Homo-oligomer: A and B are copies of this chain.
Amino acid sequence: MNKIRLIAFTTLAVLALALSVRAADLLPSWNDGPAKQAIIEFVQATTDKASPKYVPPEDRIATFDQDGTLWVEHPMYTQVMYCLEQVPALAAKKPELKNMEPFKTVLSGNREAMAKLSMEDLEKILAATLTGMTVDEFNAEVKKWIETVKHPRWKRLYTELVYQPMLEVMQYLRANGFKTYIVTGGGQDFVRVYSARVYGIPPEQVVGTMGGTKYGYDKDGRPILTKEPWLLLNDDNAGKPEGIHLMLGRRPYTAFGNSPGDRQMLEYTKAGDGARLAILVLHDDADREYAYGPAKGLPDTKVGTFTQALYDEAKKRGWTVISMKSDWKRIFAFEK
Query: Chain B residues with Cβ under 8 A from A90's Cβ?
Result: none
Is the CB–CB distance between A238 and B215 below 8 Å? Answer: yes
Chain A interface residue number, banded: 35 or more
A246 and B192 CA atoms in complex are apart in Å by: 11
Is the CB–CB distance between B215 and A249 below 8 Å? Answer: no
Closest B residue by C-beta to A227: B245
A203/B249 contact (C-beta < 8 A), A223-B241, A223-B264 known: yes
Closest B residue by C-beta to A193: B249
A residues 32-80 with Cβ under 8 Å of B?
58
Residue from B19, B196, B223 in contact with A267 in the complex, judged by beta carbons closer than 8 Å: B223
Is the CB–CB distance between B203 and A271 below 8 Å? Answer: no
Which positions in A face B, CB cutoff 8 Å?
1, 3-4, 7-8, 11, 14-15, 18-19, 22, 58, 135, 179, 188-189, 192, 196, 202-204, 206, 210, 212-216, 222-223, 225, 232-233, 238-239, 241-242, 245-250, 264, 267-268, 271
Query: Chain B residues with Cβ under 8 A from A19's Cβ?
Result: 4
Query: Chain B residues with Cβ under 8 A from A196's Cβ?
Result: 58
Residue from B202, B250, B268 in contact with A215 in the complex, judged by beta carbons closer than 8 Å: B268
Main secondary structure of the interface of A (DSSP, over half): helix
Minimal beta-carbon separation of A328 from chain B (angstroms): 21
Q: List 10 A-B contacts (CB under 8 A).
A: A188-B249, A204-B250, A210-B246, A213-B242, A214-B242, A215-B238, A216-B238, A223-B267, A225-B245, A232-B246
Is the CB–CB distance between A14 and B18 below 8 Å? Answer: no
Minimal beta-carbon separation of A124 from chain B (angstroms): 24
Residue from B7, B15, B233 in contact with A15 in the complex, judged by beta carbons closer than 8 Å: B7
Query: Chain B residues with Cβ under 8 A from A11's Cβ?
Result: 7-8, 11
A241 and B215 CA atoms in complex are apart in Å by: 7
Minimal beta-carbon separation of A62 from chain B (angstroms): 13
Query: Chain B residues with Cβ under 8 A from A245's Cβ?
Result: 135, 213, 225
A213 and B4 CA atoms in complex are apart in Å by: 42
Query: Chain B residues with Cβ under 8 A from A238's Cβ?
Result: 214-216
Closest B residue by C-beta to A225: B245
A223 and B15 CA atoms in complex are apart in Å by: 37
A204 and B225 CA atoms in complex are apart in Å by: 22
Closest B residue by C-beta to A3: B18
A242/B15 contact (C-beta < 8 A), A202-B58, A233-B232, A248-B203 known: no
Query: Chain B residues with Cβ under 8 A from A203's Cβ?
Result: 248-250
Other 18 A-B pairs with CB < 8 A, given A4-B19, A7-B18, A214-B242: A4-B22, A7-B15, A8-B15, A135-B245, A179-B204, A189-B249, A203-B248, A203-B250, A204-B250, A215-B238, A215-B242, A215-B264, A222-B271, A223-B241, A223-B264, A223-B271, A225-B241, A247-B247
Query: Chain B residues with Cβ under 8 A from A248's Cβ?
Result: 203-204
